[in-house]
Structures are given as structure tokens and as C-alpha cells.
Amino acid sequence: MRLERRLTLLFALSLLVPGMAVAAGSAPVTLRWKVPPSSLGYAYTAESMSPKSSTMKVDISGVRLRGEPAGKRKKLFEMAQPTQSAMALVLSPKPSGDVAARVVVTKMEIPKTKRASKEAKELARQLKAMEGAVQIRATLTPSGLVTSDLKREHRNLVAFMVELPSRPVSVGDVWTHSADLVDMGKHWNGESDTINRVELVSLEREAEGTTVAVIDFTVAERHAGRYENPALANPIPATMEMSYVGRGEFLVEEGRWRRVAGEMATIAKGVVSVDSAQRFVMVPLEPIPADVLAAQ
């Protein structure tokens, strides 16, 4: 119920759309990326909504492996999560008609914690080392479908940045997103709830002749159950929730986003405990900085 209430509230707030909207049942539109030879750039920033809770706790004091003495088990350690992060998305046309995408990390703010464990220090070092480098390379179709073989987390990130409907859509049409938020692994035994809804809520006709397609995203998963690995002396109960709620404004004639914004949240209970929510915004990056274009 917590997941459902959160998403219902966010979705209701997102329905406050300004401007003159075209009613449902209007002629369908085809939304496609139109990337110029000089490339398109976007700045993607995310900020924790509750810095005090931006910590991942790992508690394995209750985990027992078969045949392992209890004294050899670590008890508890914490890892600080980024409170602010920024990335640059660069889209470039390919001769095939597809689109090349690169994601460059430009900022990673990691809060300092007292008595940080070796694991936490190493994670913070790795996150900070991402700055200034290309972290993801992908190939997209003109509709923003990611065709590259990427890690699930990387694929989700790029897809949320670029994915458009694969078919022409009218106001009120609903479709699903390709994101796969959670993988609980092969030893998981539990129940799940999924919400995957993307809707074209309006077409804005602006005074200068621009058409803006307003798209709402509501994608979430909740898993509750336990891990039953044969190596464990006892099953480990856990729950995991992840959600993405956002709104995108796509410029139909220009073939690009004007803005995408929303909230991402993760709640986990069990051996790993997380309760975090981040606001994110993606806006055009004009011009694209030279160091971003040169990043490797």
C-alpha cells in the first residue's frame, strides 16, 4: 500500500498541465528523435529529497551460512549514497539512421561519514572516480529504443532518458515502458506487484506553432518474500520497492525533449536497508561543453 499511495499522489499532482491541450481522440502523432549532425546535449541532475536517509545499511548479523562459525560474520556497515549527482547525455546521429548515446558523469557528491568502513570508503572512491568519464555508450532507434546489450541498471537509465512510443499515439493512449527495475535473483521466492504505465496526456499547441507532447511515466515494482539459497542455514526475508514517476515534454516538430522531471525512489528492507528518494530534471545542454564532447 505504501508504494500505491505514493504513486497515486505523485500521478495526481502530475496531471496539472498548463496551456491549451488537445482533447483525447485527436489525430495520432509520431514521436521520433531528430538529432542534428552537431549532436544534442542534455544535463541530467538528481538530488536527494532526504539527505539524512541517503545511506545504504548492510546488516549480515542474522545471516548464517551452513558450517560457518558465527564469530567470523561481520555485523553491520553503512555506505553513504550520493546526495547530488549530475550527468550529461550526448546524442549523435549514425549513418544507419540510428542514434548514438553517451552518458558522462559530471558531478558526484558523496557525504562524508564518521568511522566509515573499508567497503564504504572504496565505494565512495569508485563513485567519485566516475566524474569526467563516459560511463555508458548505447545505440538507439529513432524512437529511443535501446538496442545495445547493456547492464540492466545502465539500460534503464538510458531508456528513461530517451524512450518514446514505438507507434503513433493519440491523446489518452497508454503503453508500457521497457524498463526492468528489479532483479531479485534466481534464489528469490516471493510475490510481486508491478505498475507500468506511460500515457500521452496532452498535445499543447503553443502560440509560436510548436506542438508539445506531454507524456506521463509511472513505473514501479514491489517484491516481498525471502531468499532460499541452499548455502544459507535459514531463509532471509526481504522486501524491495523501486519506482519512477515523471513527466516529459517532447517537442514534436523539433524531435527532442524540452524537459523531463520527476522522482525516483527505492525502499529495501532486510539484509540491505535503503529508504531514498531523488528528484531529477533533464533539460537541454546548450552548448555542449568541450570537456563533455571530449570525454572518453
Q: Which residue has the higher pLDDT, 50 or 222?
A: 222
For 231-278, the pLDDT digits (tens) are: 777 888 989 999 999 999 999 999 999 999 999 999 999 888 888 899
Q: Does residue 10 have a pLDDT over 90?
A: no
Dihedral pair phi/psi, residue 156, rounded to 5°: -60, -45
Predicted pLDDT at 2: 52
Q: Which residue has the higher pLDDT, 168 or 234?
A: 168
Distance, in Å, from the CA atom of 55 to the CA atom of 78, rounded to the nearest integer, reads 7
Mean pLDDT, rounded, for 76-82: 70
Mean pLDDT, rounded, for 38-62: 81
Average pLDDT, rounded, for the chain: 85
Q: Does residue 21 have a pLDDT over 70?
A: no
- pTM of the predicted structure, to 2 decimals: 0.84
Residue by residue, DSSP assigns the chain as -HHHHHHHHHHHHHT---S-BPPTTPPPB-------TT-EEEEEEEEES-GGG-EEEEE-TT--BTT--GGGS--EEEEEPPSEEEEEEEEEE-TTS-EEEEEEEEEEE----TT--HHHHHHHHHHHTTTTSEEEEEEE-TT--B-S---HHHHHHHHHHH---SS-B-TT-EE----------TTEEEEEEEEEEEEEEEEEE-TTS-EEEEEEEEEEEEEEEEE--TTBSS-EEEEEEEEEEEEEEEETTTTEEEEEEEEEEEEEESSEEEEEEEEEEEEE-SSPPHHHHH--
Mean pLDDT, rounded, for 225-234: 83
CA angle 140, 284, 177 (to 5 degrees): 40
Q: Does residue 156 have a pLDDT over 90?
A: yes
Q: Which of 9-23, 28-42, 154-168, 273-287 bottoms out in mean pLDDT, i.e. has the lowest?
A: 9-23
Predicted pLDDT at 281: 98
